[in-house]
Amino acid sequence: MNLFLVNPKSDFTMDNSFRIDQENLQHLFTTLQKRGYETVGPTLADEAIVYDTIASVEDLPVGWTDEVGPGKYRVANGGGLSSFGYTLSPQSWKRFLYPPTRKLFSAKKNGKSFELTQENDGEKKHAFIGVRPCELSAILIQDRVFSSGEYHDDNYLALRRNAFIVAVNCSQAGDNCFCVSMKTGPAAKDGYDIALTEVVDGDNHYYVAASGTEKGREILTEIGAATASGNEIAEAENVVRRTTAEIGKSLDTRGLPKLLAENLEHARWDDVAKRCLTCGNCTMVCPTCFCSTVEDTTDLSGQTAGRSRRWDSCFTMDFAKVSGGNFRTSAKSRYRQWLTHKLSSWVEQFGISGCVGCGRCITWCPVGIDLTAEVKAIRGTKVKQEKGG
């Protein structure tokens, strides 16, 4: 079994697709809004392309693109008609489904006891517009994380059930993308309600749209999408083929969980520890990382109290602090924990890799540490160890 195959369908075609233009896209926004969805999508803010609430196609980052490298992110306006001509936002969609901080409950003093109020985001309905295929795979991975095993995250699952996903296939490859190695892109194959491929051919600007669910098909019909012609489908398929060919970075996933598990004392962990600042950026931007901590607070009068959950990181010192001390004090042990969890023990836990190849951890690492290079170095000089330290 290929554990790195998130999307089960390997053949890519756009048969039975629709053609929509920018006017239909606006109609899609309003139709979703009328159905009670908050439309969330890419927009330009703070010199970055961020995912935020957007009201209309006017809010999309038309003409903008992003340039990335190890430890590098820039936006640039190259002009043109493209609304989705960038690769990725620094943020991922997990901040809507699994918010960075979430109040779990609040308590108010009432005589000698407390009244508890449980907080719940589950009623919110998000329509995510512009989900990249690797990001869709990350959502499918988090679905497993939060729904498998004994403990479920009901808030996540309620938000997820209410979400409508408009995926957009990639029309450009970022320098840090390696979705082809992880079989998660650059085309979405599963898990979306609607998948768009944007085609810009001179002044001719349109999207080829496929429905992935009955609801998606119903909405495409409602917005007046026409059947796409053979030529339009061929153009859209070319967009994806070109992007596939542009992806330069790769990760050799052959036997990777075993390779890492057998090399816990490899000299490369010391090498990367000299560069790693243990800032935790890589975990914050990663669309699949899910570690959290819980904090209790009270006001000074002792009348109200609350419990919140917030994202945590295996790179922070407190993360591994237990009653007997800290079991992961060195940078080496923390980086190793992160990488081996992503690419090795995650597979044992959830039956799938914890990495979708989005490259965000490379882009947002202040010293440009690249996990594909770290794995390559370990694979190149692997030494079998008896046990980890």
Which residues are at the interface with ligand SF4 (CB under 6 A)?
Answer: 276-282, 285-288, 315, 335, 342, 355-361, 365-367, 369
For the chain, the C-alpha Rg in angstroms (whole number) is 22
Smallest gap from residue 167 Cβ to ligand SF4 (A): 17
> Of the candidates 190, 206, 194, 239, which has an alpha carbon nearest to the alpha carbon of residue 28?
194
* Opening angle at CA 86, ends 194 and 341, nearest 5: 80
Q: Which is nearer to ligand SF4, 21 or 175 (CB)?
A: 175
Smallest gap from residue 289 Cβ to ligand SF4 (A): 7
For the record, the structure tokens of 46 come out as: 């703070």
For the record, the structure tokens of 29 come out as: 């926004």
Instruction: From residue 359, give the alpha-carbon distance in Å to each of 28, 163, 364, 378.
Output: 30, 25, 9, 19
Instruction: From residue 152, give the alpha-carbon distance in Å to each of 32, 138, 221, 377.
Output: 28, 17, 36, 37
Query: Using CA atoms, how far apart are residues 154 and 158, in angstroms rounded to an integer?
Result: 6
Query: Using CA atoms, how far apart are residues 55 and 242, in angstroms rounded to an integer?
Result: 31
Q: Which is nearer to ligand SF4, 64 or 335 (CB)?
A: 335
Smallest gap from residue 69 Cβ to ligand SF4 (A): 14
- Evaluate the CA torsion angle 67, 45, 79, 39 in order and state its sign: positive
Q: Which is nearer to ligand SF4, 27 or 132 (CB)?
A: 132
Q: Which is nearer to ligand SF4, 136 or 208 (CB)?
A: 136
Smallest gap from residue 279 Cβ to ligand SF4 (A): 4
Q: Which is nearer to ligand SF4, 43 or 281 (CB)?
A: 281
Q: Which is nearer to ligand SF4, 82 or 137 (CB)?
A: 137
Smallest gap from residue 196 Cβ to ligand SF4 (A): 22
For the record, the structure tokens of 136 come out as: 């869709």
Q: Which is nearer to ligand SF4, 19 or 360 (CB)?
A: 360
Smallest gap from residue 297 Cβ to ligand SF4 (A): 27
Q: Which is nearer to ligand SF4, 127 or 141 (CB)?
A: 141
Quick one: how far is CA 221 from the chain centroid? 29
Q: Which is nearer to ligand SF4, 29 or 269 (CB)?
A: 269
Smallest gap from residue 338 Cβ to ligand SF4 (A): 7
Q: Give DSSP secondary structure letters for 293-311.
A: EEEEEE-TTSSEEEEEEEE
Number of helical (H) and strand (E) elements in the chain, helices listed first: 14, 16
Contacts of 305 (CB under 8 A, 6+ apart): 106, 107, 114, 296, 297, 298, 299
Cis peptide before 99 (omega within 30 of 0): no
Q: Which is nearer to ligand SF4, 42 or 90 (CB)?
A: 90
Let me know if 161 is exposed, middle or buried by CB neighbors in 10 A (0-12, 13-18, 19+): exposed
Residue 357's φ and ψ, nearest 5 degrees, are: 80, 25
Smallest gap from residue 370 Cβ to ligand SF4 (A): 9
Query: Using CA atoms, how far apart are residues 134 and 111, in angstroms rounded to an integer?
Result: 52
Smallest gap from residue 70 Cβ to ligand SF4 (A): 10
Contacts of 372 (CB under 8 A, 6+ apart): 178, 249, 250, 251, 362
Smallest gap from residue 225 Cβ to ligand SF4 (A): 32
